[in-house]
Amino acid sequence: MYRTLKGKHFITLRDWTNIEIDMALEVAADLKRRFYMDEPTPLLQYKTIALMFFEASTRTRNSMEMGIAQLGGHANYLDTSTMQISHGESAKDTGIILSSFGHGIACRHCVWGEGNAYITEMAKHASRPVLSLQCDLYHPMQGLADLMTIKEVKKETKGLNVSIIWAYATSHKKPISVPLTQALLFPRYGMNVTLAHPKGFELPDWVIEEAKANAEKYHGSFRVIDDMDEAFRGADIVIPKNWGSWSGKVPNVSIEDFKHWKCTEEKMSLASPEVCYMHALPADRGNEVDDSVIDGVHSIVYQEAENRLHTAKAVMALTL
């Protein structure tokens, strides 16, 4: 049974039931339809949200700022380096004050060992909902948009073969929050999930245990392998994306030894004929993936990116 989600925090999808996630997806689909029809959606008229960013952002910041504007509200963008946080103000004090000024707080904080703890502490003391825009452990906004995209393209999620694959990159060290969120979420929708990575890039043990438990409960499957070709073989969805070693236990080899962990046309040919390529973006073109793949007929990355707007709007409309 659906119930109001007003005031509910959005820090990890682990705290949202499938029914609540489905409700968010239904609202997102409706808002997307109305967006395409230029139909006004003043669901949050005169409401405000503080957007706190410890890191740079493109999709996340703009989906939230434009999203709340399209809902009739207003976002205050806050670069935390210009806030009193930079002088030591606590998460508790920041949460209490900002939540007393408006109708919600959204925060992106990806520093390993700090981000989720900070957002959770702020939510503990805030009088309004706190939304995570990505932390060191979770990226619920991305997970929700990914699920929406998969449902749009494939219709049915049960029995779908989805591969979450580590990929080589030379850009900044990326958090584990995207693959971690996908590994926990997708088995809850009956998907057969493969997690593939070289040794040293494992996700935490508790994630693997919970993913397997979710797969058993919802009649999907979950496996972990270290063979990229096997991950592509027969896959309906592939998500090759880099993430850093959270444990620091990378084998005594150079990162260059993993350059072959790259999404190419040859790898894609191993998958299902109707395979879809997904990526949270920005992709490290030429390293994580060849241009011919990300710009090719199997790529749905721009649909996936657009859905960040519609799912962000849904979460705000339901919680603020």
Report pLDDT digits (tens) over 59-104: 999 999 999 999 999 999 999 999 999 999 999 999 999 999 999 9
Write out the DSSP string of 207-244: HHHHHHHHHHHTT-EEEEES-HHHHHTT-SEEEEE---
CA distance 244 to 141: 20
pLDDT at 2 over 70: no
Asked if residue 236 is part of any domain, the answer here is yes
* Phi and psi angles of residue 87, each rounded to the nearest 5 degrees, phi first: -105, 10
Asked if residue 5 is part of any domain, the answer here is no
Q: pLDDT value at position 253?
A: 64
| 154: nearest Cα among 303, 294, 4, 276 | 276
**pTM of the shown model:** 0.96
Instruction: Name the more confident of 244 and 194.
Output: 194
What confidence category does residue 47 fall into, taking pLDDT thresholds of 50, 70 and 90? very high
Q: Find the mean pLDDT for residues 131-153.
A: 98
Percent of the chain with pLDDT over 70: 97
Q: Does one domain contain both 92 and 144?
A: no
What confidence category does residue 256 fall into, taking pLDDT thresholds of 50, 70 and 90? confident
Q: Does one domain contain both 82 and 68?
A: yes
Q: Does one domain contain both 153 and 68?
A: no
Q: Does one domain contain both 268 and 126?
A: no
Q: Does one domain contain both 311 and 300?
A: no
The CATH number assigned to the domain holding 242 equals 3.40.50.1370
Q: Does one domain contain both 220 and 276?
A: yes
CA distance 126 to 123: 5
Asked if residue 4 is part of any domain, the answer here is no
Q: Does one domain contain both 150 and 271?
A: yes
What domain range is 159 assigned to?
140-305
Q: Does one domain contain both 119 and 161?
A: no
Report pLDDT digits (tens) over 262-280: 999 999 999 999 999 999 9
